[in-house]
């Protein structure tokens, strides 16, 4: 426990690293405030001692009040989308936070960036990571920037790519980037460094490189993962697979969609190995060997013990436009009255998706996921973070949890490629005569006339699927 409790703010608490850092900070006795664009997204986390308030990095007016009375700000915000303006968004977010932190009297910012040798040939996303650090320093607040290579842990996008490739492909045709060198680091070590920086004054105003101590090529990492998984892996390297082609391939084979796979692969062309080892002298922690980190990550995967996952981060900064709001909303609405207790029906739709399936024609859902993957969407490979447990903003296949009321309702928003926006909602309540009323509502907001065409073109399929899915949920509840 710390003697004097610092007041800590965390930006990016819903992300992979932030979702694991917050409980660690709370365990150490720090006062923690989580800033979120959608505070309800964090409401289902088991963080009773954390203060969760509104704070949007792209809304400069929201930040000064959110950072009042804060000593240290953890900046864990990154854009991983393939949109052309991601660099501008990253810079604007960092400028807003730096200015607001200085105005609010924040003493220090701790930022987790990307590790790569300074070069004019840096990938756009790695270059943006390092530019964010520069922008934060320009605000006049003391900054500690930790630069890390790929992070190994259950739920990490980088780890899931390697795991899925090894799991599904005994023979791998690989591009040149598999010969690039990196220094992977376990998520546990990343968290230890982030925490220890709070109490180590020598880390203030420093750019520090963190790694696991083992320098490996990506090919060697995949072979090591195969060994841990008890699989045989044959690799053949060819020069023709560009980062974009590799991204498309990873989009098809792994759980990670094109929007994340492509920037990750672009970054792999740059070696990411530590050359500055000062932090190891200042902060004495036990670095976890690569294979040990892999074993732990695989065990947590198998047991469903994912404290956080890359899918929990926001997918986009976009919102519904005023033009779209004026368009007609299209719906498929099902109501079923049943003598089955409402609680059992709730348990049935609470478990929807992932390995549990969709209660009717799972092959059709898989086909829709494959079609989405082929055009760069997220597809169905994300599955569920947990087979039963649900949090606001969890990913469930190509949906994301938008609202969740235990015992009552679940609302999902579609994240597949669509000419509009779609939601799928389940509700159940007990009526006066103790029967249960179950509602299933599929809603589509078309972006334009193409959206209308899409809805009516596949209406017969929706009619079949939604009708039988509602019946399947009630039928499943009957036998629970």
DSSP per-residue letters across 345-373: HHHHHHT-SGGG--SS-HHHHHHHHHHHH
Same domain, 10 and 102: yes
Indicate whether 411 and 463 sit together in one domain: yes
Instruction: Clarify whether residues 299 and 394 are in a common domain.
Output: no
DSSP 181-204: EE--EEHHHHHHHHHHTTT-GGGT
CA atoms of 71 and 33, how far apart (whole Å): 11
DSSP bridge partners of 145: 111, 207
Does 154 lie in the same domain as 144?
Answer: no
pTM of the model: 0.71
Both structure tokens of 143: 């900054």
263 shares a domain with 216: yes
Q: How many CB atoms lie within 10 A of CB 321?
A: 10
CATH number for the domain harbouring residue 427? 3.30.530.20
Q: How far is Cα 204 from Cα 143, in angstroms, rounded to an integer?
A: 6
The answer to the question of residue 93 being in a domain is yes
Over its C-alpha atoms, the chain yields an Rg (Å, rounded) of 23
Q: Six-digit token pair at 157?
A: 């996008």
Pick the closest to residue 276 from 332, 207, 358 (CA basis).
Answer: 207
CA distance 168 to 146: 34
Task: With residue 428 as reference, give the H or E element that holds it.
Answer: strand 420-430
The answer to whether position 456 is within a domain reads yes
Q: How far apart are CA 415 and CA 409, in angstroms?
A: 20
| Whether 139 and 159 share a structural domain | no
- On whether residue 196 sits in a domain, the answer given is no
Closest CA to 382 of 152, 161, 79: 161
Q: What is the pLDDT of residue 253?
A: 67
Is the CA virtual torsion 79, 82, 83, 86 positive or negative?
A: positive
Domain membership of residue 109 (yes or no) is: yes
- Per the CB < 8 A criterion, the answer to whether 306 and 386 are in contact is yes
CB 253 within 8 A of CB 259: no
- Could you tell me if residue 201 is inside a domain? no
User: pLDDT value at position 246?
Assistant: 61
Indicate whether 36 and 23 sit together in one domain.
yes
Residue 227, token pair as written in the block: 């060994």
* Domain match, 294 and 355 both: no
Full DSSP string of 372-394: HHHTT---STT-BSSSS---TT-
Question: Could you say which of 95, 127, 148 is where a domain stops?
Answer: 148
Sequence-distant (6+) residues with CB within 8 A of 302 are none
Would you say residue 320 lies in a domain?
A: no
Last residue of a domain, one of 98, 128, 148: 148
Q: What is the pLDDT of residue 1?
A: 43
Cβ atoms of 67 and 106 within 8 Å: the answer is: yes
Q: State the pLDDT at residue 172.
A: 72
The verdict on 133 and 57 lying in the same domain is yes
Determine the 3-state secondary structure of 103 from DSSP: helix
Task: Say whether 107 sits in a helix, a strand or coil.
Answer: coil
Angle at which helices 243-253 and 157-168 pack, to 10 degrees? 70
Phi, psi of 182 (to 5 degrees): -145, 170
Residue 294 sits in which domain range? 149-183+212-274+284-305
pLDDT score recorded for residue 259: 65
| Spatial CB neighbours of 80, under 8 Å, sequence gap ≥ 6 | 125, 157, 259, 260, 263, 264, 313
The verdict on residue 188 lying in a domain is no
Let me know whether 460 and 347 are in one domain.
yes
Helical pair 258-267 and 243-253, crossing angle rounded to 10 deg = 130
Q: Mark whether 261 and 346 lie in a shared domain.
A: no
In a domain, 197, yes or no: no
Find the CATH number of the domain harbouring 298.
Answer: 3.90.25.10
Please report the pLDDT score of residue 451 as a whole number.
Answer: 85
* Tokens representing residue 69 in the block: 């009375």
Tally of domains in the chain: 3
Q: Which of 93, 128, 148 is the last residue of a domain?
A: 148
Same domain, 111 and 173: no
One digit per residue, the tens of pLDDT, for the chain of length 480 reads: 445 688 999 999 888 899 999 999 999 999 999 998 888 778 778 888 999 999 988 888 899 999 999 999 999 988 755 455 677 888 899 999 999 999 999 999 999 998 887 766 777 778 888 889 999 999 999 999 999 998 999 888 888 888 887 887 777 777 666 788 899 999 999 999 999 999 999 999 999 999 999 999 888 888 899 999 898 888 777 665 555 666 666 666 666 666 666 666 666 677 889 999 999 999 999 999 999 999 999 988 877 767 777 777 654 333 333 333 344 678 888 999 888 999 999 999 999 999 899 999 999 999 998 888 888 788 888 888 888 889 888 899 999 998 898 999 999 999 998 998 899 999 998 876 678 999 999 999 888 888 888 888 888 898 899 999 999 999 999 887
Q: 250, 254, 253, 252: which is closest to 266 by C-alpha?
A: 250
Residue with tokens 């549990």, as numbered in its chain: 356
Question: Is residue 37 left, alpha or beta, with left meaning phi > 0 and alpha meaning psi from -120 to 50?
Answer: alpha
**d(C-alpha 258, C-alpha 261), whole Å:** 5
């Amino acid at each position: 426990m710390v003697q004097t409790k610092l007041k800590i703010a965390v930006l990016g608490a819903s992300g992979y690293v932030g979702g694991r850092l917050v409980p660690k900070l709370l365990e150490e006795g720090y006062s923690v405030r989580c800033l979120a664009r959608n505070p309800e997204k964090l409401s289902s986390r088991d963080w009773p001692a954390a203060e969760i308030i509104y704070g949007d990095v792209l809304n400069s007016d929201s930040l000064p009040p959110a950072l009042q009375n804060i000593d240290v700000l953890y900046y864990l915000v990154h854009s991983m989308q393939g949109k052309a303006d991601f660099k501008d968004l990253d810079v604007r977010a960092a400028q807003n936070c730096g200015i607001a932190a200085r105005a609010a009297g924040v003493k220090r910012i701790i930022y987790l960036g990307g590790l790569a040798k300074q070069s004019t040939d840096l990938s756009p996303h790695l270059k943006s990571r390092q530019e964010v650090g520069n922008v934060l320093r320009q605000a006049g607040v003391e900054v500690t920037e930790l630069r890390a290579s790929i992070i190994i842990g259950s739920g990490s996008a980088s780890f899931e790519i390697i795991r899925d490739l090894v799991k599904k492909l005994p023979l791998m045709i690989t591009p040149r980037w598999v010969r690039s060198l990196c220094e992977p680091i376990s998520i546990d070590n990343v968290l230890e460094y982030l925490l220890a920086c709070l109490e180590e004054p020598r880390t203030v105003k420093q750019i520090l490189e963190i790694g696991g101590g083992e320098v490996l090529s990506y090919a060697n990492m995949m072979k090591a993962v195969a060994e841990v998984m008890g699989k045989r892996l044959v690799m053949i390297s060819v020069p023709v697979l560009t980062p974009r082609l590799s991204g498309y391939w990873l989009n098809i084979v792994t759980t990670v969609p094109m929007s994340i796979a492509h920037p990750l692969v672009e970054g792999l062309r740059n070696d990411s190995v530590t050359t500055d080892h000062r932090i190891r002298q200042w902060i004495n922690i036990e670095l976890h060997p690569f294979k040990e980190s892999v074993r732990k990550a695989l065990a947590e995967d198998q047991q469903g013990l994912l404290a956080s996952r890359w899918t929990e981060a926001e997918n986009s900064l976009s919102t519904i436009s005023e033009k779209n709001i004026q368009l007609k909303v299209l719906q498929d609405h099902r109501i079923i009255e049943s003598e089955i207790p409402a609680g059992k029906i709730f348990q049935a739709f609470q478990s929807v998706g992932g390995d549990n399936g969709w209660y009717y024609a799972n092959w059709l859902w898989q086909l829709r996921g494959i079609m989405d993957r082929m055009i760069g969407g997220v597809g169905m490979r994300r599955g569920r973070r947990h087979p039963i447990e649900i949090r606001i903003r969890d990913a469930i296949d190509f949906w994301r949890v938008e609202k969740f009321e235990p015992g009552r309702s679940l609302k999902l928003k579609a994240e597949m490629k669509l000419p509009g926006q779609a939601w799928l909602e389940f509700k159940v309540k007990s009526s006066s005569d103790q029967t249960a009323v179950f509602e299933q509502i599929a809603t589509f907001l078309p972006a334009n006339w193409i959206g209308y065409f899409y809805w009516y073109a596949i209406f017969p399929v929706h009619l079949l699927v939604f009708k039988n899915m509602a019946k399947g949920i009630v039928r499943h509840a009957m036998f629970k």
